[in-house]
Amino acid sequence: WSSKDFPWTKQLEVNNKKVFGNHSFRPNQREIINATMSGCDVFVLMPTGGGKSLTYQLPALICPGITLVISPLVSLIQDQIMHLLQANISAAYLSANMEWTEQQEIFRELNSEYCNYKLLYVTPEKIAKSDALLRNLESLHARELLARIVIDEAHCVSQWGHDFRPDYQGLGILKQKFPNTPVLALTATATASVKEDVVQALGLVNCIVFRQSFNRPNLRYSVLPKTKKCLEDVDKFIRENHFDECGIIYCLSRMDCEKVAEKLQEFGHKSAFYHGNMDPAQRAFVQKQWSKDEINIICATVAFGMGINKPDVRFVIHHSLPKSIEGYHQECGRAGRDGLRSSCILYYSYSDYIRVKHMISQGAIEQNSMTYGYSRSNMTNSGRILETNTENLLRMVSYCENDVDCRRLLQLAHFGEKFDSSTCQKTCDNCLKNTSFIEKDVTEIAKQLVELVKLTGQKVSSSHILEVYRGSLSQLVKKHRHDTLSFHGAGKRLAKGEASRVLHHLVVEDFLVEEVKKSDFYGSVSSILKVNDPKVHNLLLGGQRIILRFPSSIKASKLAKYEF
Ligand code: ADP
Ligand code: ZN
């Protein structure tokens, strides 16, 4: 596909320079354009900032007819249209909250003999809900004026993905109605299973796949323990590494966003919050202040992000556990789009896992989709979706608990990409601190912990189990007479953190299950550990060994936190 002998090659190169002002093509751009212009269905995986828009805007300009682009966010669409109009490319969009007369005008143009538009952008719910649009597309198609269908952020089609949107599922109708019109599906994030799901749901045939590495060499990753002094740590980190530079702090709840922003202001940073509970004008105001550098730090839920194009974001901090590795990778990806060195720090505590899990089961996690007004009921977290979300979250826990393997390797493995960790060049915390690791058989510890969960009647929390295992004589332990249990104190001699690593591993691997119990008015959540009998049975019978890797030097793991 990289050939320069296609009939359109000359036109491509001329227009890339003249209209878009680019001197050359970025990796895969020429290939993707050649494939889609040859009439093939194409699936593109390209990291954020890779230059996906050009791969359909340039063909749209050259090909006769109109290119239909489905994109999830009105703000993103408006941004694109503005750029296109500036480049003298005729483009329009249709969205649900548009005046009827305005829509009529666009439909009239679509029906005119030589439709002037080169690109028509629509939101997915338009395809799902507007018969008028479908009729117009049919008419364009009948007049051979429907050149191509582009599906941006295509991972939203998949329930396995981290950003599922119900209206995307209906897009399969396009291939049914227009089987011969080439489809170009684009995303910056998809695992192998998400890709399969998308290809199937859209009905793509003999689809050609382009993917490039998702590694972002200029980003530095680390996971730090989240303590009560987390915000002091954040302040110190920013002061020492990125003072007066731009950054995003992702928080779990709206209240967290506001609290964190306020605290950072007290520390003397120019910060503001951003979440789905603000009215659109407020949000637009904050976004504007941010892009003009009047505010440095945005404390936001994941509602902030899609369509953010600021090139000089120097740090992305996760104040609590992200929902999935995919989501985490994409959120981090908003840092350093200009290619300069930037930091990604995640503050992790196991108790956040319980909190996030609870919020997921309540459907209370803010989604990107908030920005364009999904009703909650559309996003009910039931059955398969809930299961997927919980599994994604557990993978994230496992990522955080891992203090041995290269962070890049772990992230990229999730996208099915092999990574040679020697090329990380110590740009993640684990590569920086670990010269080597040891493998340790922790089966006996695991068995004892499981026994303790059983002995305490599957009624207590993971931290209580750890206390008993360490031999605590706290009031609570005594009150329940847990100091008389046979494994009370059995883990006394273990290195700090070892027992909790094993216990959390048992949860991640589904031997034990955290059952989130209740939340009080202030949103605090308690949970109890239960035993997953079939899996545990085999373990207790000795049918399975559990091996964990630990940094070989404990000292090394205490290396200065702010090495970057
Ligand atoms: P994506 O959608 O993959 O995140 P965009 O299409 O928004 O990326 O492109 C990111 C930036 O790169 C834009 O500012 C765009 O103008 C620029 N860009 C895209 N292709 C090229 C190219 N061939 N040469 C130079 N700049 C490019
Ligand atoms: Zn590394």
The pLDDT of residue 384 is above 90:
no
Q: Please indicate whether residue 526 or residue 262 has the higher confidence score (pLDDT).
A: 262
- Residue ID of nearest Cα to ligand 1 atom 13: 51
Lowest-confidence pick of 145-154, 222-231, 377-386: 377-386
Choice between 550 and 219, residue whose per-residue pLDDT is larger: 219
CA dihedral 278, 279, 280, 286 (to 10 degrees): -50
- Look at the block and give the residue holding tokens 């020697």: 422
CB within 8 Å of 282: residues ≥ 6 apart: none
pLDDT at residue 356 greater than cutoff 60: yes
Summarised one tens digit per residue, pLDDT across range 267-278 is 999 999 998 888
Ligand 2 center to 75 CA (angstroms) = 36
Asked whether 210 and 58 are in contact (CB, 8 A), the reply is no
For residue 49, pLDDT over 60 is answered with yes
Residue nearest to atom 20 of ligand 1 (CA): 51
* Residue 376: pLDDT band with limits 50, 70, 90: very low
Q: Do 366 and 254 form a contact (C-beta atoms < 8 A)?
A: yes
CA of 514 to the centre of ligand 1 (A): 44
* E-assigned strand segments in 257-296: 271-274
* Per-residue pLDDT, 20: 92
pTM of the model: 0.75
The ligand minimizing its distance to the Cα of 409 is 2
pLDDT in tens, 202-225: 999 899 999 888 899 999 999 999
Q: What is the pLDDT of residue 557?
A: 43
Residue nearest to atom 23 of ligand 1 (CA): 25
Centre of ligand 1 to C-alpha 48, Å, is 9
Ligand nearest the Cα of residue 56 is: 1
Residue 558 has pLDDT above 90, yes or no: no
Q: What's the rounded mean pLDDT across residues 498-506?
A: 92
| Residue to mutate (ligand 1; options 15, 16, 23, 26; most atoms within 8 A of CB) | 26
Q: How close is the Cα of 406 to the center of ligand 2, in Å?
A: 4
Q: Which of 54, 213, 308 to mutate to test the pocket of ligand 1 (most atoms within 8 A of CB)?
A: 54
Question: Ligand 1 atom closest to Cα of 23?
Answer: 24
pLDDT band at 387 (very low <50, low <70, confident <90, very high): confident
Which residue minimizes the CA distance to atom 19 of ligand 1? Answer: 51
DSSP 4: S
Strand 246-250 to 313-318 pairing: parallel
ipTM of the shown complex: 0.98
Ligand 2 geometric centre to CA of 345 (Å): 14
Atom of ligand 1 nearest to the CA of 50: 3
DSSP for residue 558: G
Residue 114 pLDDT > 90: no
pLDDT value of position 375? 31
Atom 18 in ligand 1: residue holding the nearest Cα: 51
Please write the tens of the pLDDT for every residue from 69-88.
999 888 788 888 988 998 99
* Residue 49 alpha carbon, nearest atom of ligand 1: 4
* Residue 56 and residue 44 in contact, taking contact as beta carbons nearer than 8 Å: no
| Three-state DSSP string of 289-358 | HHHCCCCCEEEECCCCCCCCCCCCEEEEEECCCCCCHHHHHHHHCCCCCCCCCEEEEEEECHHHHHHHHH
Find the 407 Cα to ligand 2 centroid distance in Å: 5
Q: Considering the chain, what is the average pLDDT of its residues?
A: 87
Compute the distance between CA of residue 416 and CA of residue 399 in angstroms, rounded to an integer: 15
Q: Are 458 and 532 in contact (CB under 8 A)?
A: no
Q: Which among 439, 450, 442 is positioned nearest to 538, based on CA atoms?
A: 450
Distance 244 CA to ligand 2 centre (A): 27
Local confidence band at 297 (pLDDT 50, 70, 90 cut-offs): very high
Q: How far is the CA of 22 from the centre of ligand 1 (A)?
A: 9
**Is the pLDDT at 423 greater than 60, yes or no?**
yes
Q: Residues with Cβ within 6 A of ligand 1?
A: 22, 24-26, 29, 46, 48-54
Q: What is the mean pLDDT of residues 434-451?
A: 88
306 has a pLDDT exceeding 50 = yes
Q: What residue spans of 301-442 are helical by DSSP H? A: 325-332, 350-361, 383-401, 407-414, 429-433
Beta strands in 118-175 (DSSP E): 119-122, 146-151
